[in-house]
């Protein structure tokens, strides 16, 4: 086994999921991630937890284990069917470790978007349990990735290059470095920045690709330091739902269920997306905005802080963390931030802020040209 895989498993079990004796943990993955599943399973047993692997043959969108077949062939009744095992696990288990390990990231690109939307409405309770129980760490969920050929191709790398990229981003590449200590240092520095935002209200986001205002009044910024995502590196909150005004043009493609929506531009009035355009796959953008009422409002405003990730890889787990960027998420917000927005979607979109750009909070410059000024 690649020694980096064992170090990754230790970080996931001991730090991210923080498993304790007796904890029930669901391990979600596809077959290609078997080395990491075995390492996580073994480490979970070592700390006294009860691991339950659940292996999908094709993705996690439908919660059936066979996204490609189900989303093409299921009838309306089947699309609307609940998934009682997942509902139980997300409502009652202590943890969930999801290892994204797609062997084909384009498997759903030809599935009609409305079928995916229909399915997401049927499984919304699973996402709600994750967010609500996760807010108090009653449910210690973490999402990570195992390097596959498909991810490497999307990132325009060889598989070996992609492995190095992934493990370096997670800080498990160097056997001389303590990855848990690294993420604890990230936590400390981001806590310092967040402290300066307590009690603040009015946010202006200015730059060549954005002219937005929003309120963070009585909202809480959270420190993304490796607990829910691995790799990680961001601070985020849920903006006051009806406060967002202005426009933003996202400088990186927005990926949704394997499909690339490029050149997205959104215009907001009283928090709601009132106009949306895209240079590629605009129909998918419009269909997704019609998922439910909450899909047109923001659930997240975030600043990426991981300068070890500078290349866009068409994978949101990495791309939203790129240092010098912000990202906004349409749809469901995180209750722990104070967000009240509910939706069956949570779609992150990324905008570069590294040049001629600033974030101004209550009249003072928080962030300029990709760097914090506090």
- Strand, coil or helix: what is 282? helix
Q: Of 17-26, 95-104, 142-151, 257-266, which range is least confident?
A: 257-266
Residue 137 sits in the same domain as residue 170: yes
Q: Which of 126, 144, 177 is the last residue of a domain?
A: 177
pLDDT at 135: 84
Q: Above pLDDT 70, what percent of the chain?
A: 99
Prior bond of 115 cis (ω within 30°): no
Residue-by-residue DSSP string for 111-146? S-HHHHHHHHHHTHHHHHHHHHHHTTTSSEEEEEE-
214-220: long-range contacts (C-beta < 8 A, 24 or more apart)? 214/239, 214/240, 214/243, 214/244, 214/245, 214/298, 214/301, 215/239, 215/240, 215/243, 216/240, 216/301, 216/361, 217/243, 218/338, 219/337, 219/338, 219/339, 220/336, 220/337, 220/338
Write the pLDDT tens digit of every residue in 29-72: 999 999 999 999 999 999 999 999 999 999 999 999 999 999 99
Between CA 278 and CA 335 the distance in angstroms is 30
pLDDT at 88: 96
Q: How confident is the model at residue 306 (pLDDT cuts 50, 70, 90)?
A: very high
Residue 121 sits in the same domain as residue 253: no
| Structure-model confidence comparison of residues 258 and 284, the more confident one | 284
Q: How confident is the model at residue 263 (pLDDT cuts 50, 70, 90)?
A: very high
pTM of the model: 0.81
Write the pLDDT tens digit of every residue in 72-103: 999 999 999 999 999 999 999 999 999 999 99
Q: Which of 254, 257, 253, 349 is closest to 299 using CA atoms?
A: 349
pLDDT at 131: 84
Residue 202 sits in the same domain as residue 304: yes
Residue 242 sits in the same domain as residue 318: yes
Parent domain of 255: 184-372
Residue 165 sits in the same domain as residue 267: no
Q: How confident is the model at residue 247 (pLDDT cuts 50, 70, 90)?
A: very high
Write the pLDDT tens digit of every residue in 103-138: 998 888 888 888 988 998 899 999 889 988 998 899
CATH number for the domain including 26?
Answer: 3.40.1830.10
Q: How confident is the model at residue 265 (pLDDT cuts 50, 70, 90)?
A: very high
Between CA 210 and CA 227 the distance in angstroms is 30
Q: Of 76-80, 108-112, 241-245, 276-280, which range is least confident?
A: 108-112
What is the mean predicted confidence (pLDDT) over 300-315? 91
Between CA 274 and CA 301 the distance in angstroms is 18
Residue 200 sits in the same domain as residue 51: no
Residue 102 sits in the same domain as residue 249: no
Residue 350 sits in the same domain as residue 274: yes
Write the pLDDT tens digit of every residue in 137-180: 999 999 999 999 999 999 999 999 999 999 999 999 989 989 88
Please state the domain count of the chain.
2
């Amino acid at each position: 086994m690649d020694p980096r895989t064992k170090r990754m498993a230790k970080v996931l079990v001991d730090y991210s999921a923080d498993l304790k004796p007796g904890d029930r943990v669901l391990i979600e993955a596809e077959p290609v991630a078997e080395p990491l599943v075995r390492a996580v399973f073994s480490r979970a047993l070592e700390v006294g937890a009860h691991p339950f692997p659940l292996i999908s043959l094709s993705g996690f969108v439908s919660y059936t284990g066979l996204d490609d077949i189900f989303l093409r062939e299921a009838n309306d009744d089947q699309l609307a069917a609940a998934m009682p095992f997942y509902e139980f696990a997300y409502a009652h288990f202590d943890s969930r470790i999801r290892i994204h390990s797609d062997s084909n990231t384009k498997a759903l690109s030809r599935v009609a978007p409305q079928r995916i939307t229909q399915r997401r409405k049927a499984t919304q309770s699973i996402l709600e349990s994750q967010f609500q129980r996760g807010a108090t760490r009653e449910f210690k969920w973490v999402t990570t990735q195992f390097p596959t050929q498909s991810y490497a191709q999307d990132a325009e790398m060889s598989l070996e290059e992609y492995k190095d990229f992934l493990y370096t981003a997670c800080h498990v590449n160097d056997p001389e470095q303590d990855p848990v200590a690294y993420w604890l240092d990230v936590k400390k520095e981001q806590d310092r920045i967040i402290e300066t935002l307590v009690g603040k209200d009015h946010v202006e986001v200015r730059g060549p690709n954005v002219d937005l205002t929003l309120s963070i009044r009585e909202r809480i910024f959270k420190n993304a330091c490796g607990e829910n995502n691995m790799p990680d590196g961001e601070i985020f909150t849920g903006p006051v739902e009806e406060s967002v005004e202005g426009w933003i043009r996202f400088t990186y493609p927005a990926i949704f269920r394997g499909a690339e929506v490029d050149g997205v531009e959104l215009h907001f009035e009283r928090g709601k997306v009132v106009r949306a355009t895209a240079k590629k796959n605009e129909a998918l953008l419009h269909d997704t905005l019609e998922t439910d009422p909450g899909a047109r409002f923001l659930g997240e405003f975030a600043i990426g802080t991981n300068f070890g990730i500078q290349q866009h890889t068409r994978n949101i787990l990495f791309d939203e963390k790129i240092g010098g960027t912000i990202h906004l998420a349409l749809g469901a917000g995180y209750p722990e931030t104070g967000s009240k927005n509910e939706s069956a979607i949570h779609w992150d979109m990324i905008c570069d802020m590294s040049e001629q750009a600033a974030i101004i909070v209550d009249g003072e410059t928080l962030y300029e040209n990709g760097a914090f000024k506090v």
